């Protein structure tokens, strides 16, 4: 099957028998926009539809924790419909969630103070705030050594665990998702055209050397690759082999969702 790794490839979500696939761009902590988009999406969602969230629930907006609550709630509503299955909704990991995982392992960083400072400047400060965590003790812990950092990251873990379902949500994020027929691939930020799907690793959320929208041939046999984050944040942008849905949510722009036919044709678009 073109572009498809084995069925038991745990890092990937497989969208089975999809009539249509809705993809939601990166929301970057904008919980109100996520809720508004869900209201519109609920009116358009049909039996046989599948849903993919393209990562970066955390980030620069004011309520990253609220985004996770909203996604979990809408996921439950979708899966409660007759003939729905767990794999009908897939949540991808984004660069913000990758940073968050590294934050929780900050005590192992060779230069934790510099690493934490960079993370705080790139979205983590807002995410910590949404969970009620003050980053300043973390900065101080970086001066005091490994044990102090470990204690502080423990408070961060506890803050996440205090929100029902959040820890499980973060541990179940997938690297990418694809339709079972191997026509559509959904990623957070990009792919490296020179590597097979199973070797992409961090490229999914940090992007490759080449702009995804510059793909000049199908990647790994997929007709189209759809991403939720793009550095230009130019809104829904499509080329022959790729689509970006990033309109700058979290940076003053709207949150976009698009509905795809199995062959990659865009059937509808929503914005909030």
pLDDT in tens, 226-270: 999 999 999 999 999 999 999 999 999 999 999 999 999 999 999
Judgement on whether residues 126 and 45 belong to the same structural domain of the protein: no
Number of domains in the chain: 2
Check residue 210 and give its pLDDT: 85
Q: Helix crossing, 146-161 with 136-144: angle to 10°? A: 150
Check residue 7 and give its pLDDT: 38
Check residue 137 and give its pLDDT: 98
Examine the fold and report which residue of 133, 161, 189 is the final residue of a domain before the chain moves on: 161
In this structure, is residue 8 part of a structural domain?
no
The predicted-structure confidence for 22-69, as pLDDT tens digits, reads as follows 999 999 999 999 999 999 999 999 999 999 999 999 999 999 999 999
Judgement on whether residues 260 and 177 belong to the same structural domain of the protein: yes
Judgement on whether residues 129 and 187 belong to the same structural domain of the protein: no
DSSP 174: B
Check residue 146 and give its pLDDT: 97
Judgement on whether residues 243 and 148 belong to the same structural domain of the protein: no
Average pLDDT over residues 147-171: 97
Answer yes or no: are the C-beta atoms of 94 and 123 closer than 8 Å: no
pLDDT value at 3 more than 60: no
Judgement on whether residues 147 and 179 belong to the same structural domain of the protein: no
In the block, tokens 């949500």 appear at 169
Give 68's contacts (C-beta < 8 A, 6+ positions apart): 57, 163, 165, 166, 169
Give every strand in the sheet of 256-260, ordered side by side.
Answer: 89-91, 49-53, 20-24, 256-260, 266-271
In the block, tokens 């309109």 appear at 247
Q: In terms of Cα–Cα distance, which of 167, 173, 170 is closest to 52?
A: 173
Examine the fold and report which residue of 141, 161, 181 is the final residue of a domain before the chain moves on: 161
Judgement on whether residues 84 and 191 belong to the same structural domain of the protein: yes
The predicted-structure confidence for 167-223, as pLDDT tens digits, reads as follows 999 999 999 999 998 899 999 999 999 999 999 989 999 987 789 999 999 999 999
Report the chain's mean pLDDT, rounded to a whole number.
94
Terminal-residue alpha carbon distance, the chain:
36
Examine the fold and report which residue of 115, 133, 161 is the final residue of a domain before the chain moves on: 161
In this structure, is residue 263 part of a structural domain?
yes
- The number of CA neighbours under 13 Å toward the Cβ of 73 is 13
In this structure, is residue 1 part of a structural domain?
no
CA-CA distance, 154 to 55, in Å (whole number)?
A: 24
pLDDT value at 4 more than 50: no
Q: Residue 19: give its domain's CATH number.
A: 3.60.21.10
Three-class secondary structure of residue 118 per DSSP: helix
In this structure, is residue 75 part of a structural domain?
yes
Check residue 2 and give its pLDDT: 39
DSSP 47: T
* Cα dihedral value 68, 124, 233, 12, nearest 10: -50
In this structure, is residue 4 part of a structural domain?
no
Domain hosting residue 155, numbered range:
98-161
Q: How confident is the model at residue 115 (pLDDT cuts 50, 70, 90)?
A: very high
In this structure, is residue 6 part of a structural domain?
no
Average pLDDT over residues 110-114: 96
Judgement on whether residues 29 and 89 belong to the same structural domain of the protein: yes
pLDDT value at 15 more than 70: yes
Judgement on whether residues 181 and 262 belong to the same structural domain of the protein: yes
Check residue 208 and give its pLDDT: 77
Judgement on whether residues 87 and 208 belong to the same structural domain of the protein: yes
In this structure, is residue 166 part of a structural domain?
no
Give the Cβ contact number of residue 2 at 10 Å. Answer: 11
Strand locations in 148-244, DSSP E?
Answer: 176-179, 184-187, 224-227, 237-238, 242-244
DSSP per-residue codes, 134-148: -SHHHHHHHHH-HHH
Judgement on whether residues 256 and 180 belong to the same structural domain of the protein: yes
- Angle (CA) 110 203 229, round 5°: 110
Judgement on whether residues 57 and 180 belong to the same structural domain of the protein: yes
Judgement on whether residues 253 and 151 belong to the same structural domain of the protein: no
In the block, tokens 């205090």 appear at 162
């Amino acid at each position: 099957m073109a572009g498809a790794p084995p069925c038991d490839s745990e890092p990937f979500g497989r969208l089975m028998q999809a009539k249509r696939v809705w993809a939601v761009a990166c929301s970057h902590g904008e919980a109100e926009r996520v809720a508004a988009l869900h209201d519109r999406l609920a009116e358009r969602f049909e039996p046989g539809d599948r849903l993919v969230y393209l990562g970066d629930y955390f980030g620069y907006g004011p309520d990253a924790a609220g985004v996770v609550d909203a996604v979990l709630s809408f996921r439950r509503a979708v899966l409660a419909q007759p003939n729905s299955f767990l794999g009908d909704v897939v949540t991808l990991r984004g660069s913000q969630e990758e940073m968050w995982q590294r934050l929780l392992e900050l005590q192992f960083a060779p230069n934790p103070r510099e690493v934490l400072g960079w993370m705080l400047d790139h979205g983590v400060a807002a995410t910590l705030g949404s969970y009620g965590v003050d980053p300043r003790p973390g900065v101080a812990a970086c001066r005091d050594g490994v044990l102090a950092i470990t204690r502080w990251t423990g408070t961060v873990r506890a803050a996440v665990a205090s929100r029902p379902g959040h820890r499980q949500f973060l541990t179940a994020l997938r690297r990418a998702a694809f339709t079972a027929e191997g026509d559509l691939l959904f990623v957070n930020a990009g792919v490296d055209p020179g590597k097979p799907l199973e070797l992409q690793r961090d490229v999914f959320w940090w992007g490759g050397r080449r702009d995804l929208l510059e793909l000049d041939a199908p990647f790994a046999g997929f007709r189209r690759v759809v991403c939720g984050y793009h550095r230009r944040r130019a809104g829904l942008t499509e080329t022959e082999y790729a689509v970006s849905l990033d309109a700058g949510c979290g940076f003053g722009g709207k949150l976009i969702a698009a509905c795809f036919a199995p062959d990659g044709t865009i059937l509808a678009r929503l914005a909030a």
